[in-house]
Structure 1
Amino acid sequence: MALLTRFHQALAGLALAAALLPAFAQTAAPPAAPNTLDARIQDVKGDVIRLNRDLLVLEEELLFPANTQVALFVSMDVGKLFQLDSVQIKLDDKPVANYLYTPLEVSALHRGGVQRVYLGNLRAGSHELVAFFTGQGPHERDYKRGATVKFDKGTEPKYIELRIKDSTGKLQPEFDVKVWQ
């Protein structure tokens, strides 16, 4: 709760700084010709964008501190044997993510893209992750498979990748969970 209060105080300070920025710019610079006014406005806009970026980074650090952070990613290797429709993820028997994929998103995954499907907080200790993948498998049949992994969360952030890959030997997709160190 103290972190949230400090976050709100920092947010109020940044809002005040953003409000005072135009007034400061007017007092710091001598009166200028109209053509340089546009340049000053663009500079102020750039400053506001940088402040916004810094604020978003601060917000993520406060909401998801590194010692409790867990991030889940979805990736595909080749994907000729499975056409992904959706993913449902449960952490410790609680649904944390449900995602329906568009054909464009599936295409991006086929080209090597990786999607962060969940970012949240977990206490230290043992946890269980269950992921369900639905889509079309070989011969355009409906396919639903699950993957389960038990992992220990320490004080470091935990990154987990849910990989979908083709098994050409079995002529079916495989669903793998990799816990990154």
Structure 2
Amino acid sequence: MKKKHLAMILSKLEGFKDPKPELEQYRTPGDVAAEMLWLALSMGDLEGRVIADLGAGTGILTVGACLLGAKKVYAVEVDRPALKVLERNVGLYGFEDRVEVIQSDVSEFSEGVDSVIMNPPFGSQNPKADRKFLLKAFEISDVVYSIHLAKPEVRRFIERFAGDFSFSITHKITVPFEIPAQFFFHRKKLERIKVDIYRFSRV
């Protein structure tokens, strides 16, 4: 499978039916998900590995990880409606035997894994919401892939925060991220922002 093909598959998966602004439920674009997963594959962090998708949402990263050969994926998501969509997306490709769906706040998940993949909240509605995800990821794995806003202040925070927990940034890829209007406070039909895809490794 080529990266472009993966992006096309992921972009066609079912998304949020009634996204919640307080949970910052934005769909991960297929091309962004594919970029991160392809990096994980190339680094040997995906195929045959046990993965945790923290804040799995509707399962775009979970399905993508399975398509690229993950041995097992823990799909951790607090929102039950989102998990129902995730289960349908997982079932579409027959990955039920490789995906363990867990309805839980990420802070309560404690299983050790080979790699973490996640698109945590950016903190636009709940400041510092991404910290809980990073803390848990750094606790349960030596390798973490995560998506964050490509802003100078966010980059400074990420570098400092990772260092505080003995993680180094081995890769950072900046890509466009499209957000369609879905909440009352959105003023544009389509918002285009920049995000950084990070790979963290324990020092």
TM-score, length of structure 2 as denominator length: 0.22
Which is higher, the Rg of structure 1 or of structure 2? 1
Higher strand share: 1
TM-score, length of structure 1 as denominator length: 0.24
